[in-house]
Copies of this chain bind each other. A is one copy, B any other.
Amino acid sequence: MHILIIGAAGMVGRKLTEALIAAGELGGKPITALTLADVEAPMLTLAPFHVSVVAADLSLPGAADVLVASRPDVIFHLAAIVSGEAEADFEKGYAINLDGTRLLFEAIRREGLVAPWCPRLVFTSSIAVFGTPLPASIPDDMAHTPLTSYGTQKAICELLLADYSRRGFFDGVGIRLPTIVVRPGAPNKAASGFFSGIIREPLNGVEAVLPVADDVRHWFSSPRSAVGFLIHAAELDAAALEQRRNLTMPGLSATIAEELAALERFGGKRVVALVRRAPDETIGRIVAGWPQNFSAQRALSLGFRAETSFDDIVRAHIEDELGGRVPLG
A243 contacts B145, C-beta separation under 8 Å: yes
Distance A155 CA – B144 CA, assembled complex (angstroms): 10
With CB as the reference atom, state the residue of chain B lying closest to A134. B141
Contact B166 A162, beta carbon cutoff 8 Å = no
The one of B142, B156, B167 that contacts A141, using a Cβ cutoff of 8 Å: B142
How many copies of the chain does the oligomer comprise?
2
Decide: B144 and A159 in contact? CB cutoff 8 A.
yes
Given A90-B167, A243-B131, CB of A159 within 8 Å of CB of B146 = yes
Which residues from 145 to 194 on chain A have a C-beta closer than 8 Å to any C-beta of chain B?
Answer: 145-147, 149, 152, 155-156, 159-160, 162-163, 166-167
Q: How far is the CA of A132 from the CA of B242 in the complex (A)?
A: 10
Contact count band on A: 20 to 34
- Output the least CB separation between A204 and chain B (Å): 39
Are A163 and B159 in contact, CB atoms less than 8 angstroms apart?
no
Bound together, the chains give a CA A220 to CA B244 distance in angstroms of 27
On A, residues with C-beta under 8 Å from B are 90, 131-132, 140-147, 149, 152, 155-156, 159-160, 162-163, 166-167, 243-244
22 interchain pairs, CB-CB under 8 A: A90-B167, A131-B243, A132-B243, A140-B143, A141-B142, A141-B143, A141-B145, A143-B143, A143-B144, A144-B144, A144-B159, A145-B162, A145-B243, A146-B159, A146-B163, A147-B243, A149-B167, A152-B159, A152-B160, A156-B159, A156-B160, A159-B159
